[in-house]
Chain A
C-alpha cells in the first residue's frame, strides 16, 4: 500500500506506517527551510486553497509558507470577507471554490466534521486544519515530530497533556497519533473538562496535574480559552493557574530532561508561567518551525495521491535509475 493519502481528515484511524512516512518526510522538508533558497519546485502548478472559516493566523500562515516552499500557488479565503457571512452554505461556497480548480483545500471550520463533509462532495484533496473540538491533525503531527526530534522513538514515551481536554482538538489528534505510535498518554484537567469515557482511547485520566506529569518525558500544556472563564466549567483564572498551571516547581516532578510543549497562543501566567515558557526545556518555538515542515510533508503526500490517481503512465525505469 502506498503511504500516500487522498485526504488528511484526522489522525484517528491513521496507521503507524502512514504516521512514520509523514514524520520521516518532514525531517527532509525541514532541511529545505534551512537552506539559503528555501524553496523547491516540487508542487509547481498545484493550487492550494486556504479555506479558513474560523479565525486563525498561525495555522494559516504555516500552511501558506509550507505551500510556497513547495512552489504551489495559494489562495486565501477567510470567513470575515466571505459570502458565508451572507448566508451561503458551506457546500455552495466549496462548489464555487472548485471553479478555481484547486488541487488541495485546507479547511479550518468551527463545525466538527466539516472537512469530512467537504471530502465527500468536492474533487480536491482535503486537509483538515482544525474542525471544532474534533481534530487538528497537522498540529498532532508537528507535536509528534518535535517529540521524536528530542526523544527519538515515540514508543514507550510518557506524554502528559494538561488542560481543557474536552474542547481541545489538539489533545484529540495527539491522543490518536501518540497511542498509535505506542506512547503512553496521560491527560489531566478539571473534571468538567475531561470528556467521559476518555480511557477508551487508551489514555489515563487525572483530575490533578501532579500524577500526570510525574516521570513524564513530555509535558504538553493546552491553552485555556479565557472566554470559558467564570462559566460553570471552572471558577477563576487564579484558581486554575494554582491547580493546573505549570510552574518550575511542578515541572520538577517530570523527568529531568522532560520537554515542555504548548500549541499556542499561550496565556502566560495562566496555564504556564513565563519562566517555564522561556526556559531551556521549552520547545514551543521549535513546534512552530516544525509545523511548516510537517505541513510540507502533508501537502506533498496528498498531492502525490492526487496525481497518482489520474492514471497517468510513465515508462518504468525511465528517468531515474532502475
Chain B
C-alpha cells in the first residue's frame, strides 16, 4: 500500500478544549450513572484513552468508579483483511458482568459508524446489556450506517478525503489536540 501523506488543515481543539469536552462528557455520563449501573468500555485504541480520561474526571467529581473495560473490534470488522496491512488484534478485556448493565461505549471519533456496528456485535457476545450508549469526542458526520452518539463533545463537518485525529499525550502526542488532516494526493 502506498504511503499516504497527510497535511494539517485545521485545529479543532487545543489542550484546554479537549479538557473541557472531556469534562462535559463526564458530567453527562455522571448524570446517567446516578440512575443506572454503568460500565465504561473504550474502543481500541483512541477510545481507550478517552475512556480513561473520562474515568479520571468522574473520580475527581467524587463519584463511585464505574466498571470499565476495553474492546478491540478487529475480529468483528466488516472490512477485515481488505487492504489491511497489519491485521493486529489488540486486547479485549471486559472484566465486569455486562448483563443488566448500561454499557457506555467510548470512542474518539464517530465517522462511518462501522466501528460502532462491530463494537455492538462484539459486546453482545459478552452478555445482554440493559442498554448500550455511545459517547464520542468528535462526530465528523459522513455516516454509512444508521448509528448516532448519545453524547458527543463536538460535531464538525468534514469531507471524505479528510482525517480527524484526536491526539492525546498518552499516545505520544506533544500536547492534547484535535486536528483535521487532508490527504495530499
Contact call A322/B164, Cβ cutoff below 8 A: yes
Stretch at the interface among A149-157, A175-183, A277-285, A299-307: A299-307
A236 within 8 A of B: no
B34 within 8 A of A: no
CA distance A36 to B111 in the complex (A): 31
Please report the total number of A residues contacting B with Cβ < 8 Å.
34
Contact call A320/B87, Cβ cutoff below 8 A: no
Interface of A is mostly: loop
B156 within 8 A of A: no
Contact call B83/A312, Cβ cutoff below 8 A: yes
Contact call A42/B46, Cβ cutoff below 8 A: no
CA distance A316 to B111 in the complex (A): 13
Interface string of A274-316 (1 = CB under 8 A from B): 0000000000000000000000000011011011100011111
Contacting residues of chain B (63-108) with chain A, CB-CB under 8 angstroms: 72-87, 89-93, 108
Q: Given contacts A4-B87, A28-B72, is CB(A322)–CB(B163) below 8 Å?
A: yes
Task: Select from chain B the residue with minimum beta-carbon distance to A32.
Answer: B75
For A99, what are the chain B residues with a Cβ–Cβ distance below 8 Å? none
Shortest beta-carbon distance from B116 to chain A in Å: 10
Q: Given contacts A35-B126, A37-B125, is CB(A320)–CB(B75) below 8 Å?
A: no
For A314, what are the chain B residues with a Cβ–Cβ distance below 8 Å? 79, 82-83
Contact call B79/A319, Cβ cutoff below 8 A: yes
Contact call B127/A40, Cβ cutoff below 8 A: no
Shortest beta-carbon distance from B99 to chain A in Å: 10
Most buried by A among B87, B108, B181: B87
CA distance A154 to B73 in the complex (A): 29
Shortest beta-carbon distance from B178 to chain A in Å: 11
Contact call A308/B75, Cβ cutoff below 8 A: no
Most buried by A among B76, B92, B125, B126: B125
Task: Select from chain A the residue with minimum beta-carbon distance to B162.
Answer: A317
For B93, what are the chain A residues with a Cβ–Cβ distance below 8 Å? 31
The one of B84, B89, B112 in contact with A29, judged by C-beta atoms closer than 8 angstroms, is B89
Binding site for A on B (CB under 8 A): 1, 4, 46, 72-87, 89-93, 108-109, 111-112, 114-115, 121-122, 125-127, 144, 160, 163-165, 181, 183
Closest 7 CB pairs of A and B: A307-B81, A40-B75, A319-B114, A314-B82, A37-B125, A28-B89, A322-B163
Binding site for B on A (CB under 8 A): 2-4, 25, 28-29, 31-32, 35-37, 39-42, 70, 300-301, 303-304, 306-308, 312-322
Q: A307-B81, A320-B73 are in contact. List 8 more A-B contacts (CB 8 A).
A: A28-B72, A32-B75, A36-B127, A313-B82, A314-B82, A316-B4, A316-B83, A318-B111
